[in-house]
Amino acid sequence: MINNKILVILFSVFISTSWGQIPQGYDLWMTYLKIENEGILTNYRNGLSSVYFEKGSRVLEAAQTELGRGLKSMLDQSPEISDNYVDAKVMLVAKRLNLDKTILKVMTSDINQIEEEGFIIETINHNGKEKVVITANDDVGILYGVFRFLQLIQAGKRLDDLKVLDAPKIDLRMLNHWDNLDRTVERGYAGFSLWNWQKLPEYIDQRYIDYARANASIGINGTVLTNVNANALVLTPMYLEKVAALANVFRAYGIKVYLTARFSAPMEIGGLATADPLDEEVQKWWKEKAVEIYKYIPDFGGFLVKANSEGQPGPQNYNRTHVDGANMLAKALQPFNGVVIWRAFVYSEHDATDRAKQAFAEFVPFDGKFMDNVLIQSKNGPIDFQPREPFHPMFGAMPNTPLMMEFQITQEYLGFSTHLVFLPKLYEEVLQSDTYTKGKGSTVAKVIDGSFYNNKLTGMAGVSNIGNDLNWTGHPFAQANWYGFGRLAWNPNLLADEIADEWLKLTYSTDPDFISLIKPMMLNSREAVVNYMNPLGLHHIFDTGHHYGPGPWVGNLSRPEWNPTYYHNADEGGIGFDRTPGGSNATAQYAKEISTLINNPKTCPEEYLLWFHHLPWDYQLKNGETLWNGLALHYQKGVEEVKDMCSTWESVKPYISKDQHEEVRMLLEIQLKEAKWWRDACLLYFQSFSKMKLPAGVEKPKHTLEYYQSLKFPFAPGIRPRWD
């Protein structure tokens, strides 16, 4: 039986640090606002007046520092530090000691239920005195328990009613940074990269520490520092020394560092003539590189690899397979318990098949052939982070291979950092989708958390929306997407409603009137964006390259699947992509229960109608409207929903500061302007095919189609660097 590390937090906090003036939004959801309710404040001060925290590792030191910071800020007093956990009000026991048997007897939570990284927070009555006990099996469990405890305090949870037993359902919970070594960020909309490579390793920016704190507070335990469109230089000694400095900071917060491995690195920095994964010299080079990396970073997590996709090198350059490439790298990392995360985002200009089918076709035949330390990382949908996609058919189709979910937190196709879009609603929709792999109830969440197939390794990744913007993410509400990703990576069965409630209380206010106004706005925001961008299953109709704004008319790019016209297929006969047996037959990649439903336009959920069907403009929707009228009304509805968001935000002025209100108000004005742009540009273009009038209730466009087609944005943020 594992000895339990105990955190009986006898609260009276010890660290009284002055944190100085912090820019608005910098603290994220860790604001630790002073509790204003005098009754609750008095209760907390009495109940958290003394704390026992045993000395230990750097992780425990980080937990102790965070506890001091949070309690000092919220209670405006520091608890007294007790040398005796029996006398303390809150008990944090740092070493692997058995909890006092008398305490064990009165605990109702079963400490045997928490595994690695899990924790228990429970209020008990011990010898006639109330105590808060936080216990875990390892140091990082204590750290997570401290963060959760502080979040409960901030949310106003009663001390006499604390009982939380929680542990992560997914092993690898990580951010994927698409950061380049020149500090640009591909698809980044919040400034430049956090990583100042020029100043590392000597200069450790406070932001690195606060980044680690933020991630640990929501259970994220891994970070991939570099872009999937990789640069091999990061694997050279000069950069490994810099990566090691970051890893040292993150280690105190339970976070491992991962790097993207450029498949052609043996040639580009190793002087070899080939990168063939079956070549003995290539295999030797990667094994030696792994040894070198682990000398710099003993707890290095492993490699994330984008191969044979969008021009990136890979094993197919040498007529080898994804298995050959992934397993070659996995063997190099295996002695160090490192993992290979091999991305399934593949599509080829040499394959005329429907792009939505290609990843399934390339990977599913290799089910069960990857090594145990390989995860296949698939995007949530079969195309590319669209505002709405059906779940990727690979989920549920590879029972012998652990599949890792890849969500996008940064809003590449969702208005960048100027649009308020609460993405946990999208994540929930995907995770709760039923694959029918083992009959009804076979959700995507159960596939990726390993519970269906007893996978030894599980993971979820989020493409980061973090930059050096003062508030980290560019839009205050974009912070909720980082927060929400972490919460769902910890537990993929959480609901967006719960996450929105948590984040609002931690970030803005616990006032129930404020929550009742803003939470519904957040929960509806993603659907509003779908309506004014890509309604009824339309997808990938964004302007070329930068993906800023509409571009349904683009059809002159060198590869067919790069063109929006490829996806909507609008003509005088109708609109949509036929993926039924009469078209590309992509529906066959789903379970029979699903394919039967979506093959018939009458039973296909209308939110996916044009994803799976090409239908005439006068096709009758379920509400009796023609397809053309329904499309136009959805675009108008999206605009109206943003107007409602603006009005709702105006109504919450009394609950927040003037600066907080003004920042979001200005961003919502941008969102409204761009929602109208999307509506007008798309309807004018599609109207050139339908030849039908706009229905009543839809505003007439202010400009001509030619005007919208003439708009150019050569310096839109987040464009992929030319050297890629």
Is residue 717 within 8 A of residue 416, CB to CB? The reply is: yes
- Residue 643 and residue 503 share a domain: no
Which pLDDT band holds residue 52 (cuts at 50, 70, 90)?
confident
What is the pLDDT at residue 602? Answer: 98
- Inside any domain, residue 320: yes
Answer whether residue 360 is part of any domain.
Answer: yes
pLDDT band at residue 11 using 50, 70 and 90 as cut-offs: very low
Which of 166, 194, 218 finishes a domain? Answer: 166
Give the pLDDT of residue 99.
Answer: 66
- Please give the positions annotated as active site: 310, 384, 412
Q: In the listed set 107, 141, 166, which residue is the last one of a domain according to the structure?
A: 166
- Answer whether 127's CB lies under 8 Å from 6's CB: no
Give the number of domains in the chain: 3
Measured distance CA(417)–CA(410) in Å, rounded: 8
Q: 21 falls in which pLDDT band (50, 70, 90)? A: very low
Local confidence band at 18 (pLDDT 50, 70, 90 cut-offs) = very low
Nearest-5° Cα angle at 530, 506 to 528:
55
Shared domain for 100 and 178, answered yes or no, is no
**Residue 454 sits in the same domain as residue 429:** yes
CATH number of the domain at 619, please. 3.90.1330.10
Q: Is the pLDDT of residue 113 over 90?
A: no
Are 178 and 155 members of one domain?
no
**Of 147, 166, 185, the domain-final residue:** 166
The domain of 442 spans 172-507
> Same domain, yes or no, for 90 and 194?
no
Does the residue 605 lie in any domain?
A: no
Q: Are 252 and 208 in contact (CB under 8 A)?
A: no
600 within some domain: no
Does the residue 602 lie in any domain? no
Q: List, in sequence order, every residue forming a beta bridge with 461; answer none if it has no partner.
A: 174, 406
202 in the same domain as 158: no
Q: Is 127 left (phi over 0), alpha (psi -120 to 50) or beta?
A: left
Q: What is the pLDDT of residue 104?
A: 76
- Between the alpha carbon of residue 605 and those of residues 277, 491, 638, the distances in Å are 44, 27, 19
Residues sharing a CB contact under 8 Å with residue 190, sequence separation 6 or more, in sequence order = 410, 417, 465, 466, 467, 468, 469, 471, 472, 473, 474, 478
pTM of the model: 0.96
Judge if 381 and 315 occupy the same domain: yes
Question: pLDDT tens digits for 632-642?
Answer: 999 999 999 99
Q: How confident is the model at residue 94 (pLDDT cuts 50, 70, 90)?
A: very low
Q: Is residue 724 part of a domain?
A: no
* CATH number reported for the structural domain that contains residue 142 in this entry: 3.30.379.10
Q: Is position 294 within any domain?
A: yes
Q: Are 424 and 380 in a shared domain? A: yes
Query: pLDDT tens digit string along 227-272?
Result: 999 999 999 999 999 999 999 999 999 999 999 999 999 999 999 9
Domain check: are 354 and 462 in the same one? yes
Based on the domain organization, do 320 and 198 belong to the same domain? Answer: yes
Per the structure block, which two tokens stand in for 529?
């964006």
Which pLDDT score, from 0 to 100, does residue 13 have? 34
Residue 384's CATH number: 3.20.20.80
103 and 201 together in one domain: no
Q: Decide if pLDDT at 64 tops 70.
A: yes
- Any domain includes 583: no
Same domain, 263 and 388: yes
